[in-house]
Structure 1
């Protein structure tokens, strides 16, 4: 925590309406916002202000020393036209590097950047824009995903993995790539094409008082730090169509090529509702995920499948270790309260078995769920050193599933009123 400090900005303010932006929910403000950011950056930095109103825009690229400040009552309404996110930029798609449509708010290699204020970033994705790329007849992302994974496996240089126009890999709503000193504060994000907030290979990231309201879309993870160091996520409220917070570190061959873990992260005082997992590690674990601390969070929804989830498989590999969870209150979950599995996507054999050990969960309470624990290692790759202390699980309707686990310790753990210590 001593290392994590949000950036500071000069007391200079640049209103986008002074550069031609109009908040009438009709005018394309892309050029005006871009000019405001470039002017602020050129003059030494400060705050680019989006005032109250509805501002239509395409891709926004942040530059060093610039805070994009969304005033209360403001809304950035992002274009539903994929052409608004060209030319392609360097990005990661589900843990694999490539060139693709620009994330809606994007920065690459910048320092001291922020998106702050009480406004809304509305991705405007729906069943006929972006989300329809996930299945069924063309447009369909599946062939492009297969091609990208094969390119990575074959060692095709990243600069040759070019997608974008004519392809169907969905962009993130916010992605900061290889940036230092990043702040997201107070904003609301909603309806992203896929992952909402995605810091990649960043250092010193603060995400606080953010609302993620994106419960209906596919792969709509809330906050996904990937291959990042020194991350604080606090006082956020998250409801998504996938994992609420998911720590990641690259996928398969490409994750091993880059080989940068996510390490030293704190999640505290957050509230999770809908989602496949409340706080998750994986499934993109190839670079490793270590030293993650979760404190004082609440999680509950009929559509929250799991509270704490770790997922990988022998194709992904990586070390997942030193995960420490304390004082989590779970109201309702739709599947297992705690799930740690090494057979993600039904893959049980491969050359890169993950190393999962050192998982500690204490003072967790759950009011209702099908089961408390789903712990699945593999015969040749067991889960190791998992400890639950002072936890209570009530109204569990099914038995725990525990296979191929070494060093499981249950200490003062109660399930349906019965002490389950070993």
Structure 2
């Protein structure tokens, strides 16, 4: 009998241990919750984020590119002059690299710490159309996947206190004869039989490397491949300022701060209608302030990202503490967008006092992901938004997003805590609110407060979401 109770006691202990283990495993894999989200006044946190962002300060010394052999009439390449001026400025401890009014031709510009690249009003920097000039390859990223590729047109890698300022223009000189045809779209110069980014040796090969976990330094592309470079990419940088300048004719994404922090994008104009010409895409980045900008783009105006599929989960850095205010959005696939490269998650995004208006703007606020991307997207606050016209939806949340094949996987996205407050829409397009969640993970805690949407075909289409909270909200004259 004593032996029986001893065995019974051992079995009970084993059962309790296994039970606790299962509970711990369940808790570790359950989606993280955000308790106490304050829908009444989230804007104090937005103010605190803006106040915390450090604007870089530079030495007063000026390094004029003309003093280093630059040609302001565009008659010859100023590539060496830009490199020499940046090197001299860096060696002196930093300062301003000054580009006077005129036209300059150059290859890629690589910034270093404590340097402000300043374009005087009337200055236009035109980037080389020779792809060879963007070699050797550098550590960069394409649609949320890191690899070695052509250099971005303006690039900074692991630098601190950098800026691009002034009232001049950066011209990427991309077009239907340069960079854009690689998109594979006829409208951008692609011709049947030409090489393109979706060919087997390009995107499929890179995606396979990401899936297998191939080290980034072994993912070598560049020459012989068709991946377009970004325009301005601070990679693992701190304290970045982009102010006053204009970007046109971008090969790919325009401003792409990746794995960076303390970023200010102020009074910048992006006027670029090429393929994937997103205006500003913070990725794996924190403490970002985008203010007073104009976005007139061929893709999303602002798209917040955090890596694609296994790369996003490998890096494991969410994009967070991002404030977008006082901006104007015209053409684009979306005004302020989260995704689709969002596997690392996005949280604490504050969008206030913006204007969106164009017959070619598809959505105002958009969240896009799927079960290959996954990701947790939470705490998205929108206030004082004026929308003149959008095509598809004022708010679109889609957990079935996919433009490529095989977009289903085992990574259920979590989307919660979305607020739209003080929103006026004159022409809402096809949908007022369009939410396509998942039965296994419904979209939760969506609130519309003081929202007035006019002239929309379908006021609401909601699948797999908790009840939307309406407060003083009218769609097509009907109060909800």
For the aligned pair, the TM-score class normalised by the smaller chain equals over 0.9
- Which one of 344, 347, 350 corresponds to residue 293 of structure 1? 350
110, 116, 119: which one aligns with 2:168: 119
1:415 aligns with 2:471: no
CA contact (8 A) 2:374 2:412 kept: yes
**Residue-by-residue CA offset, 1:70-123 (whole Å, 9 max, x unaligned):** 000000101111111111000011101100000000000000000000000001
Q: C-alpha displacement at 1:399, in angstroms?
A: 4.1
Q: Please, which runs of 5 or more residues in structure 2 have no aligned partner?
A: 1-49, 185-191
Structure 1 residue runs without a partner (length 5+):
none
- Are 2:406 and 1:357 aligned? no
Q: CA deviation at 1:277?
A: 0.3
Q: Map 1:1-400; keep pairs closer than 5 Å.
A: 1-135=50-184, 136-143=192-199, 144-214=202-272, 216-345=273-402, 349-368=408-427, 369-400=429-460
Between the two proteins, the alignment pairs up a number of residues equal to 419
More helix by share: 2
Higher Cα Rg: structure 1 or 2? 2
What secondary structure does 1:132 align onto?
helix
Distance 2:242 2:58 in 1: 13
Q: 1-side partners of 2:193 and 2:462: how far apart?
A: 40
C-alpha displacement at 1:389, in angstroms? 0.7
Aligned partner of residue 69 in structure 1, secondary structure: strand
The aligned residue for residue 15 of structure 2 is none
Cα contact 1:342–1:348 (8 A) shared by 2: no
Look up the SS of the partner of 1:194 in the other structure: coil
What is the distance in 2 between the residues matched to 1:410 and 1:100? Answer: 48
Give a deviation string over 1:398-421, Cα, whole Å, max 9, x none: 34221000142122110111102x
SS in 2 for 1:199: coil
**Matched residues in 2 for 1:282 and 1:115: separation?**
26
Give me the whole-angstrom Cα distance separating, in 1, the residues matched to 2:331 and 2:434: 20
**Equivalent residues of 2:459, 2:475 under 8 A apart:** no
- Structure 1's consecutive aligned runs of 4 or more residues displaced over 6 angstroms after TM superposition are none
Measure, in 2, the Cα distance between the counterparts of 1:340 and 1:26: 50
Separation in structure 1 between the aligned mates of residue 211 and residue 194 of structure 2, nearest angstrom: 25
SS in 2 for 1:32: helix
CA deviations on 1:121-143 (whole Å, 9 max, x unpaired) are 00111111100001143221112
Is the CA contact (8 Å cut-off) linking 1:348 and 1:378 kept in structure 2?
A: no
Deviation at 1:350, TM superposition (A): 1.7
Matched-pair contact (CA < 8 Å) for 1:268–1:296: yes
Question: Displacement of 1:348 after TM fit?
Answer: 6.8
Tell me the distance in 2 between the aligned counterparts of 1:196 and 1:359.
Answer: 27
Select between 123-132 and 338-347 the one with higher mean Cα deviation. 338-347
Separation (CA, whole Å) in 2 of partners of 1:397 and 1:324: 25
TM-score w.r.t. the length of structure 2 is 0.86
Q: Return the alpha-carbon distance in structure 2 between the equivalents of residues 212 and 392 of structure 1.
A: 29
Moved more, 407-416 or 93-102: 407-416
Q: Return the structure number with greater strand share.
A: 1
> What TM-score, normalized by structure 1, do the two folds share?
0.98
Question: Residue 134 of structure 2 contacts residue 151 of structure 2 at CA under 8 Å; is this kept in 1?
Answer: yes
C-alpha deviation, 1:221, in angstroms: 0.2
Q: Could you list the per-position Cα deviations for residues 189-247 of structure 1 after superposition, in whole angstroms to 9, with x for gaps in the alignment? A: 01111100000000100000000001x21100000000001000000000101000010
C-alpha deviation, 1:353, in angstroms: 1.0
Farther-moved stretch of structure 1 (60-69 vs 133-142)? 133-142
User: How far off is 1:349 after superposition?
Assistant: 3.5
